[in-house]
Amino acid sequence: MIDIKLIRENRDLVKENIKKKFQNEKLGLVDEVYDLDVKYREAKAQADNLRSDKNKKSGEIGLLMKEKKLEEAEAIKNDVALMNEKIAELEKLEETLSQEIREKMYLIPQIIDDSVPIGKDDSENVEVQRFGEPKVPSYEIPYHADIIANFNGLDKDAAGRTSGEGFYYLMGDIARLHEAMLAYARDYMIAKGFTYAIPPFMIHGNVVEGVMSFPEMQAMMYKIEDEDLYLIGTSEHSMIGKFKDQIIKNSELPITMTSYSPCFRKEGGSHGLEERGLYRVHQFEKQEMIVICEPKDSMDWYNKMWHYSVEIFRNFNIPVRQLDCCSGDLADLKVKSCDIEAWSPRQQKYFEVCSCSTLGDAQARRLGIRAKNENGTYYVHTLNNTVVASPRGLIALLENNYNEDGSITIPEVLRPYMGGKEKIEKNK
């Protein structure tokens, strides 16, 4: 959510930003909010003036009563009563206007960074740089579900019986490798100075509204029936929500945390679920990182964070590239975002495994997260990034470490988490 001062002082900037995001249907919201804000401030000014007049008149009543001027005192009492009625009307109008403004402000996208490339959708995202040489071996690399089947590592049929399409069982060494990746990612982030956390996996609706836009919420979130609870789509939701309505001491910034959670997503729409494989599923596990910092430091943190993901995947022997997300691909709360994509030697193309975003003060405004220094309070900036999400990370690891004999070479950094194993072998 943007600062309403931008609409009061520079509506053209807000409208131009909407155009850059190819959301022209929202242009009318800017003038609607402006007009509502004028009415809101007029109502507030009237109410404030009436309260001031009421206080003066209330003081006069006591003096008149002491002087036995009862009729004059009674007349002023009547005036005060009428003022109270008018103040109540104005307060109700303020509340109504404030709610209307907030609902419309929620729909106006955050001002994007000047460095964001302009484009309509993810097909116009821009590759910035590559890390590691993408290779295609001379032997065939099977589809990841078939690789996993060689190790008796996947059971989607049983998951279909227990839970339905979009769920899975991971078994044996594959399950162990999956957890090894997450454990390594956790320890990597702890070594970078991040505090480890396991957050709640369900959150209230007002937290959901604080961390993401309404269209995202509808497309992603599972709601618990008859309760004000949603299953998280990523632990960023509950990690940022942890600071809702808090004032943080300036000396405590930056707050850097890394969190583990399962994640739950509807995955509806045109993409659909993957029938055999694990690329698009309803449930997965993820190690996440979040940063809460001073506004001046947010872009520095943004660049540090996505580099962490690059280093982790390179330590898994996986070539990756960084893509800047274009304006039309940015969710409404984001200032700037990039994807880290892993090389698929089977498909001979890259696919997304991490997403890093700075949201400026958008989430902080929605959730009331502020910091305090000698000059007063201010809204903090929030950032988030995937450390490792599996099974997508697992797919990349299997393909890039697959050997001609069907075995998987375990990256050196994961061997301590696999009991010292250097390879996992096909079942005879």
pLDDT at residue 56, as a whole number: 80
Q: What confidence tens digit (pLDDT) does each residue in 364-417 have?
A: 999 999 999 999 999 999 999 999 998 999 999 999 999 999 999 999 999 999
Domain segments of the chain as ranges: 4-105, 122-424
pLDDT at residue 141, as a whole number: 96
Mean residue pLDDT across the chain: 93
pLDDT classification of 268: cutoffs 50, 70, 90: low
Instruction: Tell me the chain's radius of gyration from C-alpha atoms.
Output: 28
Output the six-digit token pair for 112: 């994007």
The single-letter code of the amino acid at 337 is: S
pLDDT at residue 125, as a whole number: 97
Output the six-digit token pair for 25: 């249907």
**CA angle, 189 then 193 then 196, to 5°:** 60
HEC secondary structure over the chain: CCCHHHHHHCHHHHHHHHHHCCCHHHHHHHHHHHHHHHHHHHHHHHHHHHHHHHHHHHHHHHHHHHCCCHHHHHHHHHHHHHHHHHHHHHHHHHHHHHHHHHHHHCCCCCCCCCCCCCCCCHHHCEEEEEECCCCCCCCCCCCHHHHHHCCCCEEHHHHHHHCCCCCCEECHHHHHHHHHHHHHHHHHHHHCCCEEECCCCEECHHHHHHHCCHHHHHHHCEECCCCCCEECCCCHHHHHHCCCCCEEEHHHCCEEEEEEEEEECCCCCCCCCCCCCCCCCCEEEEEEEEEEECHHHHHHHHHHHHHHHHHHHHHCCCCEEEEECCHHHCCCCCCEEEEEEEEECCCCEEEEEEEEEECCCHHHHHHCCEEEECCEEEECEEEEEEEEEECHHHHHHHHHCECCCCCEECCHHHHHHHCCCCEECCCC
Torsion of CA 355, 238, 197, 384, to 10 degrees: 20
Cross-strand pairs, 160: none
Class of domain 4-105: mainly alpha
Query: Average pLDDT for residues 82-100, to the nearest whole number?
Result: 93
Statement: residue 70 has pLDDT above 80: no
pLDDT at residue 428, as a whole number: 62
φ, ψ dihedrals at 249, nearest 5°: -65, 135
Cross-strand pairs, 114: none
Could you tell me the CATH superfamily of domain 122-424?
Bira Bifunctional Protein; Domain 2 (3.30.930.10)
pLDDT classification of 271: cutoffs 50, 70, 90: low
Statement: residue 326 has pLDDT above 60: yes
Q: What confidence tens digit (pLDDT) does each residue in 304-321 have?
A: 999 999 999 999 999 999
The single-letter code of the amino acid at 4 is: I
Statement: residue 8 has pLDDT above 80: yes
Between CA 175 and CA 177 the distance in angstroms is: 5
The single-letter code of the amino acid at 90 is: L
Q: What confidence tens digit (pLDDT) does each residue in 16-64 have?
A: 999 999 999 999 999 999 999 999 999 999 999 998 888 787 777 767 7
Statement: residue 275 has pLDDT above 90: no
Q: What confidence tens digit (pLDDT) does each residue in 206-261 have?
A: 999 999 877 777 778 899 999 999 999 999 999 999 999 999 999 999 999 999 99
pLDDT at residue 343, as a whole number: 97
pLDDT at residue 270, as a whole number: 45
Statement: residue 184 has pLDDT above 90: yes
pLDDT at residue 262, as a whole number: 95
Statement: residue 423 has pLDDT above 70: yes
The single-letter code of the amino acid at 85 is: E
The structure's pTM equals 0.90
Between CA 295 and CA 380 the distance in angstroms is: 6
